Amino acid sequence: MPSYDFDLFTIGAGSGGVAASRRAASYGARVGICEDSRVGGTCVIRGCIPKKLLVYGAQFADAFEDAAAYGWSVVPPRFDWPTLIANKNKEINRLEGIYHKLLKDSGCALFEARGRLIDPHTIEVGGKRVTAANIIVATGSHPVMPQIPGIEHVISSNEALDLPALPRHIIIVGGGYIALEFANIFSGFKAEVTLIVRGEEVLNGFDDDVRAAIAQEMRQRGVVIRLRTELERIEKSPIEGCTVRTKAGEEISADLVMYATGRKPNIKGIGLEEAGIKLHKDGRVIVDEWSKTTVPHIYAIGDVTDRLNLTPVAIAEGRAIAETLFNNNPMAISHENVATAVFSQPPVATVGLSERRAREKGYTLDIYRTRFRALKHTLSGREERTLMKLVVDRATDRVLGCHMVGADAPEIIQSLAVAITCGATKRQFDRTMAMHPTAAEEFVTLRDKVPDPKAEAAE
């Protein structure tokens, strides 16, 4: 039987790679892991965590504005962007240190260098070659830019987290969750924001009512959303930072242009094809339900597989591999009914099927929907409205999807995700006693069905 340096070697020390490595080491496996950037990966260093800290910062603007109606005399607030960025960086450094400690304490050997597969069992890392019985590829993804004239003048979400100064006017290109989150961040800090979206509406793939509701709320907050718009070129402007020209011939100028139009797997130069691993034509690594690549002892998790690019999913995928290989506990991860959130203002959260997707799957549906003004805003005067929606299978009464736009939506939907995973029915929602006064109680007090679109069309 061949002898290897490691039982498991992980290429990439993001959330998924670290989780897999630590879990494997806890079962006695000899584990090596490498990272050529900062330990913690996209989520900790340049994604979820720093972005959420900026979201928190932007939310204080609403709090200051609303306080007066509740009897507070607030001195006109002053915001300092460099202070926020410095404090954010301090926290990210702290978290990176924790990740280093976690790996060390678990007994994993960390190589702070780029890893490259030489053959199916050999990795070159930092000028040294090591061998492993099993390998996990957890290299994540990176922002991609279209090849149009002047694209070198724009920034991505990576740079947006570390700007030296807050722009007065920023153009953000894209209609996905990253674009919306940064549009709301900068708008919250009172920058002028123009969101340029190629499609018919923001948040493609989300429930249609959710898409319309968040777009309405963003416009109400002053974000200019230009739908069905594509850019032809970007030029540096002597007066303002950049001028963009649309394919319709319009010109818009701003201090800064940010692209958030997608991400692609980090596969360049890591030897996947040399090791015999097959890729999709779009670059993602082909895996089965066990996260195995086309080379049985080499696995891939997280964004590099482009299945469901969420940190908890990558962590679960990695831990499942460790359980399967080193704890005699074969485990495959389901990618259905995974809750997700958009940390916009107000936030969006969803779990399960959208109405459109459920109909495409052949379900006959009962739809329950409400829009209301939250109690908090009855004194503040804020016009923000909350949307809640349940998608129910008429045949079985099972709740197929829960969707929300409004304050605390991610916290509320996270709890409802348990119910959806357990196959809860609308009757069980109805039998649940409401907690009053809360926004969440609306999910268990919805009684009136939305008129069936087919019935309405027949009238």
Token reading at 291: 């996260």
Cβ contacts of 382 within 8 Å, gap of 6 or more: 62, 65, 66, 376
Cβ contacts of 259 within 8 Å, gap of 6 or more: 143, 145, 146, 151, 154, 155, 156, 172, 173, 174
Of 33, 51, 34, 31, which is closest to residue 42 (Cα–Cα)? 51
Angle 156-162-165 (CA atoms, 0-180°, nearest 5)? 105
Catalytic residue among 100, 153, 280, 436: 436
Q: Is 297 a residue of the active site?
A: no
Backbone angles phi, psi at 9, to 5 degrees: -130, 130
Cβ contacts of 149 within 8 Å, gap of 6 or more: 232, 233, 234
Strands (E), 114-175: 115-119, 122-125, 128-137, 141-143, 169-173
CB 327 within 8 A of CB 199: no
Collapsed DSSP state (helix, strand, coil) of residue 352: strand
DSSP state of 285: B
DSSP state of 27: T
Of 168, 144, 175, 149, which is closest to residue 244 (Cα–Cα)? 149
CB 407 within 8 A of CB 374: yes
Residues acting as catalytic residues: 436
